[in-house]
Amino acid sequence: MPTDAKLLLLDRDVVEPALQAEQVMAAVREAFILHSRRAGRIFPVVREKLHTGGVFGIKSGDIASRNLLGFKAAGFWPANRGAGGEPHQATIALFDPSTGRPLCIMDGNAITTARTGAAGGLGLQQLARQDSTRICVFGTGVQARVQLQYALKLLPQRCTVQYVNVSGATDPAFEAAFHDRCAIGVAKDRNDAVADSDIVITATPGGGALFEAAAVQPGTHLTCVGADTDGKRELPDAVLQRARIFVDDEVQARSIGECQWAPSLPCTEIGDLLAGTVSFERAATDITVFDMTGLALQDLTVAEFLYRHAQTEHLGTSVAWPW
C-alpha cells in the first residue's frame, strides 16, 4: 500500500472566499438535476438528538459518473450561542470510491450556509411571482441572512423587507447588512407581516408554528428552512393543504421536513422542475411552498469544486495519510 498518500485539509479561511454565488448556484442546480435523474444517490439520513442538547446528523451519498463519494457530519448545538459560537456545525469528507481512502476534509459550515441559500434562491426563481417586492423573514441568524441575500440578488425589483425575531426588537446588525439593498424594518405584528408579503422565508430552529395559517394570502411563496428533524416545524396546520408543495427530496421531506405534518399530500421534487421532466405554470393566486431538508448531493457537488479549486491553486494543508 502507498505510504506517501496525502490528505488535504481545507479550513474556513480557504472555503469561505471560494464560495462565489454563481458557482454555488450552478453546483446546487446540478445536484438537484442529478437527483431527479437518479444519477446520484443519497443514503439514509442520520439525525439524532444528543444528551448534551445538540442534534447530530450525517448526510452521505455518491455520484458514480463523477467518481464522487462523501458525507457531511453536521448538527445544531444551541448552547454554543452562550459561548459566543455558531450553533450550526458541519464537516465534510470526500473519499476515493475505488479504495475508501479519504481525500479531503473541509469545514462545512460555510458550505451548508451557501448551498442552502442557493437552494432557496433556485426555488424562489422557479416558484415565486417575479413581480414580488415584499418579503417577510423569520429569523435573523446565518441562514436568514443568506436566504435574504439570494432573494434580493435574484428578484429584479427593489424590495421591502420585514423581519421577525424572538425579542421583537430592532436588530441593528441585521438591518445594516441589507439597508443599501432594500427598505428593511422589524415587523410590528408577525401575522400582519405575513399577510402583507409576497415571499415568506422561515429560517428558525423549527420550534413550532410561526404564524397563523389565515395570514398566508393567495399568491404567496414560502421558503421553509428550519424543519430538518423529526418533530420540527415552522408552518401552522392548514398551510400545506392550500399550497403547491415542492421539496428537495420526497422521502426526506415526509420524514423530517414540513411534509412530516401532512405526509399524504402530493409534492414535487424541485429537481424534476429544473430537469424539465415536470412543468409548473404559476397562477397569480397559487400558494407555493419549498420544503427544504438539504441533500447530500448538494454538499458533494459544492465540495467537489472546492476540492478541485484548492488543488489547482495549491490551497489548504496537505498532511501525510499513509494507508
What are the tens digits of pLDDT across the range 38-67? 999 999 999 999 999 999 999 999 999 999
**Interstrand relation of 244-247 and 288-291 (parallel, antiparallel or unpaired):** parallel
Whichever domain contains 225, its CATH number is: 3.40.50.720
Q: Is 235 exposed, middle or buried (0-12, 13-18, 19+ CB in 10 A)?
A: buried
Do 97 and 16 share a structural domain? Answer: yes
Do 275 and 146 share a structural domain? Answer: yes
Do 176 and 106 share a structural domain? Answer: no
Q: Compute the distance between CA of residue 301 and CA of residue 72 in angstroms, rounded to an integer.
A: 12
Q: How confident is the model at residue 310 (pLDDT cuts 50, 70, 90)?
A: very high
Tell me the pLDDT tens digit for each residue of 16-42.
Answer: 999 999 999 999 999 999 999 999 999
pTM over 0.95: no
Question: What's the confidence (pLDDT) of residue 143?
Answer: 94
**Among 245, 319, 258, which Cα is nearest to 287's?**
245
Residue 117 lies in a domain: no
Neighbours of 22 (CB within 10 A): 8
Question: What's the confidence (pLDDT) of residue 222?
Answer: 98
Span 66-83, average pLDDT = 94
Do 247 and 156 share a structural domain? Answer: yes
Residue 314, amino acid: H
Secondary structure letter of residue 233 according to DSSP = B
Tell me the pLDDT tens digit for each residue of 270-290.
Answer: 999 999 999 999 999 999 999
Could you tell me what percent of the chain has a pLDDT over 70?
99
Do 250 and 232 share a structural domain? Answer: yes
Do 180 and 272 share a structural domain? Answer: yes
Q: How confident is the model at residue 223 (pLDDT cuts 50, 70, 90)?
A: very high
Do 104 and 130 share a structural domain? Answer: no
The answer for residues whose C-beta is within 8 angstroms of residue 275's C-beta and 6 or more apart is: 32, 33, 36, 37
Please state the domain count of the chain. Answer: 2
DSSP-based three-state secondary structure for 26: helix
Residue 29 lies in a domain: yes
Span 195-206, average pLDDT = 97
Do 136 and 100 share a structural domain? Answer: no
Residue 116 lies in a domain: no
Q: Compute the distance between CA of residue 147 and CA of residue 140 in angstroms, rounded to an integer.
A: 10
Do 306 and 290 share a structural domain? Answer: no
Cell digits of residue 270: 424541485
Tell me the pLDDT tens digit for each residue of 84-136.
Answer: 888 989 999 999 999 999 999 999 999 999 999 999 999 999 999 999 999 99
Q: How confident is the model at residue 4 (pLDDT cuts 50, 70, 90)?
A: confident
Torsion sign (Cα): 185, 189, 190, 196:
negative
Residue 87, amino acid: P
Question: What's the confidence (pLDDT) of residue 126?
Answer: 97
Residue 320, amino acid: A
Q: Please say whether the beta carbons of 69 and 306 come within 8 A.
A: no
Q: How confident is the model at residue 323 (pLDDT cuts 50, 70, 90)?
A: confident
Cell digits of residue 277: 421532466
Residue 118 lies in a domain: no
Residue 301 lies in a domain: yes
Q: Per-residue b/e over 192-203, b at no fewer than 16 CB within 10 Å? A: ebbbebbbbbbb
Do 181 and 102 share a structural domain? Answer: no
Residue 205 lies in a domain: yes
Q: Compute the distance between CA of residue 281 and CA of residue 296 in angstroms, rounded to an integer.
A: 29
Residue 120 lies in a domain: no
Greater confidence, 229 or 308?
308
Q: Compute the distance between CA of residue 47 and CA of residue 229 in angstroms, rounded to an integer.
A: 7
Q: Is 266 exposed, middle or buried (0-12, 13-18, 19+ CB in 10 A)?
A: exposed
Has residue 2 got a pLDDT over 90? no
Task: Quote the mean pLDDT of the chain.
Answer: 96
Domain span at 74: 6-111+297-320
Distances (CA, A) of 136 to 65, 77, 107, 164, 184: 41, 26, 30, 8, 10
Whichever domain contains 304, its CATH number is: 3.30.1780.10
Do 135 and 102 share a structural domain? Answer: no
Do 84 and 228 share a structural domain? Answer: no
Q: Compute the distance between CA of residue 231 and CA of residue 205 in angstroms, rounded to an integer.
A: 11
Residue 20 lies in a domain: yes
The answer for residues whose C-beta is within 8 angstroms of residue 251's C-beta and 6 or more apart is: none
